[in-house]
A and B are shown apart, each in its own frame.
Chain A
Amino acid sequence: MAAKDSPLKQFEIDPISNIELGGYNISFTNSSFAMLITVLVITLFLTLTVNTRSIIPSRMQLISELMYNFIAQLLSDTVGDNGKRYFPFVFSLFMFVLIGNMVGMIPYQFTFTSHIIVTFALAAVVFIGVTILGFINHGIKFFTFFYIPGVPFYMHPLLIPIEVISYLSRPISLSVRLFANMLAGHTLLKVFAGFVVSMPFFTGVFPLAFIVALTGLEILIAFLQAYVFAILTCLYINDAYHLH
């Protein structure tokens, strides 16, 4: 596969300016640029639309409020009253992933959520935070999370390792889910875009039509994955409060 035309070329990272700190390469890249755009879009949108603080909201303000209420509802449904203090974090996470995915849908724009290292870092923050939270709330009793009550005793040697493994694989499943969705969607778009060019005569309109439909689906997936990321975070936080 020629690297120039590879559908995976869109995931390559290009440094915009080379920076080195303490021997580490921390170049500002197209990935960092996408993050910058994402953060700017979120902060500016959420700040400017609510600037007037009007009781009867403008359409834009209503969007901000809907997002706020959406995540607040999600948290209170899954975690309950305890969840309120994690609201800023879950909201930031949701918006970061959502707008990151959406920015990635802009043609020629880099999708930082399609990089496993980014999604894994986010998932790891959630995982570590939730684990610490579990120990803060329950102390050493948090280990009883792996013990399923009401199961015959001879099943425990089997079940406890399974529970531990499933717990430890949470950050992996959380990050790979998002990463793989983004990777697959964008690769598929690129592959079909290649068909549009390479197919003879006017038959290229068929893959083009497919791309149009797929773009709609990808936008849906962009939202859905951000939602899944947020709701799983909520569920993990809930687990840290309520052991089985």
Chain B
Amino acid sequence: MPQLNPEFFVSQLFWLAVFFTFLFVFLWRVSLPRIATVLEKRQNKIDENLSSAKELQEQAMEIEKKINDQINKAKLETDEKIKETINALQENVSAQLSSLDKDLEKKVSDAEKEILKSKDDQMKNINNEIVNITKLTVGKITDIELSDNELNKVIETHKGNFN
């Protein structure tokens, strides 16, 4: 087996030492720090982005909160307005109802007065008609001219009998 031939042992060990030492020092001093720098840079970038994302998220949450507040506020205001409007309308309606009531009452009372007045008028007319009829009747039967005053007196005295 060539592996057990000591002829080249020293040579192998020597070159192994040379190349491995070179490799170790080169990687240690040059290559690995480079890769480490890149990885660190990337990690920093990621952290930065993460923190800014977090910030943005917080801002978004704040804005959302503001929006919700505004919505709630608007709701409350609307409710208030609706209530106010309902109240105003109700007041209006009741005011109108009461004025209508008054109007109606007035109209009723007016009508009552008119009725009374026309009743009086009618009664007066009836008196006049009675006077006229009596005058005509008496004139036809007896040729006596009766004055209105006399007739009125008589009628007044006998009025109780008509009713």
Q: Produce 1/0 per residue, B85-115, CB < 8 A to A.
A: 0000000000000000000000000000000
Tell yes or no: A167 within 8 A of B by CB: no
How many contacts between A and B, using CB within 8 angstroms?
Answer: 133
B16 and A50 within 8 A (CB): no
B16 and A53 within 8 A (CB): no
A53 and B37 within 8 A (CB): yes
Instruction: Tell me, rounded to whole Å, the shortest Cβ–Cβ distance linking A40 to chain B.
Output: 9
- What residues of B have a CB within 8 angstroms of the CB of A32 in the complex? 11-12, 15, 19
Alpha-carbon distance between A65 and B40 when the two chains are bound, in angstroms: 11
Q: Produce 1/0 per residue, A71-106, CB < 8 A to B.
A: 000000000000000011101100110000000000
Alpha-carbon distance between A88 and B21 when the two chains are bound, in angstroms: 11
Q: Contacts A13-B2, A54-B38: A31 and B12 contacting too (C-beta < 8 A)?
A: yes
Tell yes or no: A131 within 8 A of B by CB: no
Interface size class of A (residues with CB under 8 A): 35 or more
Alpha-carbon distance between A31 and B32 when the two chains are bound, in angstroms: 26
- What residues of A have a CB within 8 angstroms of the CB of B2 in the complex? 8-9, 11-13
Tell yes or no: A173 within 8 A of B by CB: no
- What residues of B have a CB within 8 angstroms of the CB of A224 in the complex? none
Tell yes or no: A197 within 8 A of B by CB: no
Alpha-carbon distance between A31 and B19 when the two chains are bound, in angstroms: 11
Q: Which of A28, A64, A92 contacts B35 (CB 8 A)?
A: A64
Q: Specify the chain A residue showing the minimal Cβ separation from B9.
A: A117
Instruction: Tell me, rounded to whole Å, the shortest Cβ–Cβ distance linking A78 to chain B.
Output: 19
A92 and B28 within 8 A (CB): yes
Tell yes or no: B13 within 8 A of A by CB: yes
B39 and A92 within 8 A (CB): no
Instruction: Tell me, rounded to whole Å, the shortest Cβ–Cβ distance linking A8 to chain B.
Output: 6
Q: Which of A9, A42, A53 contacts B27 (CB 8 A)?
A: A42
Residues 1-45 of B contacting A (Cβ, < 8 Å): 1-5, 7-17, 19-20, 22-24, 26-28, 30-32, 34-39, 41-42, 45
Which B residues have a C-beta under 8 Å from some C-beta of A?
1-5, 7-17, 19-20, 22-24, 26-28, 30-32, 34-39, 41-42, 45
